Structure 1
Amino acid sequence: MGHDVRTYGGWRRQHGIGLLGMDTVSTFVALAAAMLLVLVAAIAPGSLIYVLPPAAIGGGLGLVRVGGVPLARLGLARCRWQWGVLRGQNQYRAGVVVDHPRAFQLPGVLAPLTLLSAEDGYGGRYGIVWDRRTGFLTATLRVVPTSTWLADRGDADTWVASWGGWLATLGHVPAVRWVTVTVDTAPEPGSTLADAVERSVVPTAPAPARMIMSELVRTAPAAAADVDTRVSITFDPKTSSASPKDLFEAVAELGRTLDGLASRLGACGVSVLGRATAAEIVGAVRTAFDPQARGDVNRLLTRPGCEEALSWADAGPVAATEHTDRYEHDGGVSVAWAWHEPPRQNVRSDVLARLVAPGPFPKRVSLQYRVLPAAAASRVLQQEVNAAAFRSQFRRRTGRDETARDSWDSARARQAAAEEAMGAGVCLVSMYATVTVTDLGMLRRAVAHVETSADSSKIRLRRLWGSQAAGFATTLPCGICPPELSSRLLH
């Protein structure tokens, strides 16, 4: 006798009123160009011989797409990349012998960041990454998720519903800019098990027993994994209702916000271990840049006084070089992807299990949620519904038939507006993945492993050509958000 399986969906790409695959701005530019051509043809038809060729070239660059990206945007990105390479902006060399407080500054988009340590109000301390350029503060909660493979289907449904409710509450906390959920996996370096066995084995133990334990320690890393799940919350003091006057008040307001968010997070199928300390944040960044240091970092984190042993100066690499298709750094080479397209159909709650599961290479998968304020969510969704209606009317006026995807998109837009009216939250969701190898010869195998796992999860990933360093940094507990970086460049 069969049973019902709960599925989930409701996501769609934000379109606006763009036509022919263009965004809103490009559509208005194209319409203005078309009107200009009509006026030129009416006033001075002879000048069309000079106007039509550049207009055709511009239209081709704007309409022809490669991987969903217009040729004009690809060309602009390529020019920016070449200009950055000529200026040496794709390389980083730390001045390790320079007596200067900024000698160990992190590379690229991580450069403005520094690390703070604050009291949590319960006798402990936690780390906060402070962006000195924007003023954003990022704190990280360490959690342990419950596997959906070992849980009842009803429990998994409850966790998904609670997670949706947790995200919806962020719409009423305007100071929270975005939330990044990261699953960091890597083959167990063997240090944890080796240290535990070393403490347990006594010198008077029989030689065969010691030999068996040594063999266990030697072979265990091939079958064990080091898994760390983090929820990083980025806070903007300038939009807080408390209006903090300085950094001290902003940190205090962040601590109060974290208390409320962490208490409600426990109903989402995870156990909250607490706030990540400054040393744990440093350790996560350091092992990302140098995967071979994972065992040493894990040992330091288990010892008292690790805050002094691991400082922000130890987090960054000694050298790093960004290429268009990879990112080379201390002891490793990494490749980063971004979410190109979500699943086109409804999925089960364990759809990402294959992608985030431990594999033979260090890997980080991050889901980033930018929750729209509750006051703006309904307005944005209504604009999306109106845009879908406009595109439908445009197709009818031009005699084009509605495709199945157009019908599906319009239905999703109306569904999202109806669900928001019933209390659901609205999020802009993106996904980033990074894999690291210590041997360049294994890079192709690691890339294939991640892309195959994404395909099995019904996710389309796109390699971040020319933005490998930014994608790498996004999966770290540092509060990096690529859309925010892009808007910062535009302004």
Structure 2
Amino acid sequence: MAGEIRTYGGWRRRRGIGLLGLDTTATFVTLGVALAAVVLGTVRPGLLLYLGPPIVITGVLGLVRVGGTPVAMLALVRVRWWWGSWRGHARYRAGVVIDHPRAFQLPGVLAPLTLLSAEDGYGGRYGVVWDRRAGLLTATLRVVPASTWLADRTDTDTWVACWGNWLASLGHQRAVRHVTVTVDTAPEPGSTLADAVSAMIDPRAPAPARLIIGEVVNTAPAAAADVDTRMSVTFDPKASPTAPKDLLDAVAELGRTLEGLESRLGLCGVTVVGRATAAEIAGTIRTAFDPDARGEVNRLLSRPSSQEVLSWADAGPVHAVEYTDRYVHDSGISVSWAWHEAPRQAVHSNVLARLVAPGPYPKRVSLQYRVLPAAQATKVLESEVNAAAFRSAFRRKTGRDETARDAHDAARARQAAAEEAMGAGVCLVSMYVTVTVTDEGELRRAVAHTESAAESSKIRLRRLWGSQAAGFATTLPCGICPPDLTSRWRH
């Protein structure tokens, strides 16, 4: 009898003690306003004729939801988008002949970034993206994951378990801010095979042999899958126990951290090919902004002198325009989504296979892991359990029955707390997907194809209305984290 196929689950949306679908802060604000209205109505009932309508309108805007988002939040995002567009923040055009140190700055949230080249200690070099505003450093590992299609089930389960342990170990490394795993797929431009064969042909070979090889190359499929898997590790020097004094010490500490992380990835079914060089990072970003240049960028990266050919100045676009529903840049038009809801049921280890598989359009799928420190994880899960108990007590007080989803959520919160007590880590997971086309007429088909692939993976994606540029940048090896950007804006 065949063994049972193992399934995975247990994730849940982080929730506070909010009521009526509100978060904790909005709940206390609502209760405070309601209490103030009651007191005011007792002392000066006549004022309610003037203050009542604004309070009711504000409550409706905060409670009524469209697609799970309050109407007030949608209105705020729309106003912010209108204000930014009016001030010209949604358009970018590079200065080509400008003698200025900031002439080749990238657009949007990529503006404060610059690219460094560091030694790896073994005679090689790798690229580091430095966020000059936040002080974060991001290095990218080029990896090749083992396929689960032909692997034994036991091996697959072991890889998944080791990956969970690898993420849990990040909770003891405070300097690691977050890890982003990206699967970048695109139709192969057709020049890779021809370039590879032409570089291996001996010019002294007989003419008939060279003619036969040329015919084989010409009759071979013109397009194949171009797949690149990478893991970007973002390092916060300010959180490091060694307290680096300057940028040089911070990069050295990042290199030592990467060595420890690389050595344990082999148990997760992942082979580390190497650390991405500065030229490879610049080429990846350049290809994302200008998909028509993929063949030329691949050709340049195959040269031994690629470090001198591709630099940070070549990474950015010549022009870029952000619309509410898409991002237009050089030769491409991109649409980005964010993970709205995880699968509600338990899934198999290959649940994301359809979404990350190569398709007819360039696509990047990024999973971002923000592991909570081990000391903070216990407090967070205890607060989640207490919040679930508070909501249950509030329902009993108000005479409302507990729904099946509420009961399931409370059970998940208790299960997570129990697993953390036994040594498991706590991780905040988010997903971002970007698809790019070179012809605007193919945009609707590409969007439908991507959303269909997500549905088959039991995942609900939400289009990043008004945040297309930020979503596009998150899937690049630059260490962009939207929650961090939101907290910076609030502060």
TM over 0.5: yes
1:43: how far off? 1.1
SS of alignment partner, residue 172 of structure 2:
coil
Quote how far apart the aligned CAs of 1:198 are: 2.0
Name the counterpart of 1:154: 154
Corresponding position of 2:31? 31
SS of the aligned residue for 1:229 comes to: strand
| Aligned equivalent of 2:42 | 42
Conserved? CA contact 2:189–2:222, under 8 Å:
no
Shift of 1:205: 2.0
Determine if contact 1:191/1:298 at 8 Å carries over to the other structure.
Answer: no
SS at match of 1:432: strand
Structure 1 position 47, deviation (Å) = 1.8
| TM-score normalised by the chain length of structure 1 | 0.98
Aligned partner (choices 210, 222, 227) of residue 220 of structure 1: 222
Corresponding residue for residue 333 of structure 2? 333
**What amino acid does structure 2 have at the position aligned with 1:220?**
A
2: CA distance, partners of 1:207 / 1:265? 43
Q: Which residue of 2 aligns with 1:485?
A: 485
Q: Confirm or deny that 1:358 pairs with 2:325.
A: no
User: What is the CA–CA distance in structure 1 between the aligned matches of 2:231 and 2:292, rounded to whole Å?
Assistant: 24
Paired position in structure 2 for 1:72 = 72
Segments ≥4 residues shifted beyond 3 Å: 199-203
| Consecutive unaligned residues in structure 2, runs of 5 or more | none
Pairwise CA distance, 1:220: 3.3
Task: Give, in angstroms, the shift of residue 92 of structure 1.
Answer: 0.2
- The corresponding residue for 1:90 is 90
Aligned partner letter, 2:421: A
1:464, distance to aligned residue in structure 2 (A) = 0.1
Alignment partners' CA distance in 1, 2:210 and 2:195: 19
Show structure 1 runs of 5+ residues with no match. none
Shift of 1:98: 1.1
Contact 1:197 1:213 in 2 (8 A): no
Q: Shift in Å at residue 140 of structure 1?
A: 0.5
Q: How does 1:267-346 map to 2 (within 5 A)?
A: 267-346=267-346
CA drift at 1:191: 2.0
In 2, the alpha carbon distance for the partners of 1:462 and 1:328 equals 19
Secondary structure class of the residue paired with 1:61: helix
Superposed, which structure 2 residues align to 1:190-209 within 5 Å?
190-200=190-200, 202=205, 204-205=207-208, 209=212
Counterpart contact for 1:333–1:436, Cα < 8 Å: yes
How many pairs are equivalent?
488
Q: Distance in 2 between matches of 1:251 and 1:310?
A: 21
Q: Report the identity percentage.
A: 73
Name the CA distance, whole Å, in 1 between partners of 2:282 and 2:198.
26
How far residue 197 of structure 1 moved from its aligned partner, in angstroms, is: 2.4
Give me the whole-angstrom Cα distance separating, in 1, the residues matched to 2:103 and 2:150: 48
Write the distance in 2 (CA, Å) between the matches of 1:246 and 1:423: 35
SS at match of 1:183: strand
Look up the match of 2:117. 117
Shift of 1:397: 0.4
Contact conserved, 1:337 with 1:432, CA < 8 A, in 2?
yes
Distance 2:486 2:211 in 1: 61
How far 1:266 moved relative to its partner?
Answer: 1.2
Moved more, 45-54 or 206-215: 206-215
Bigger shift: 312-321 or 186-195?
186-195
Q: Report the 3-state secondary structure (helix = DSSP H, G, I; strand = E; otherwise coil) of the residue aligned with 1:335.
A: strand
User: What TM-score results when the alignment is normalised by the length of structure 2?
Assistant: 0.98
The alpha carbon displacement at 1:153 in A equals 1.0
| Contact 1:327–1:468 (CA under 8 A) maintained in structure 2 | yes
Report the 3-state secondary structure (helix = DSSP H, G, I; strand = E; otherwise coil) of the residue aligned with 2:130.
strand
The DSSP-based 3-state class of the residue aligned with 1:205 is helix
Q: Cα offset for 1:203?
A: 6.0
Equivalent position amino acid for 2:254 in 1: L
SS state of the match for residue 150, structure 1?
coil
Partner of 2:392 in structure 1? 392
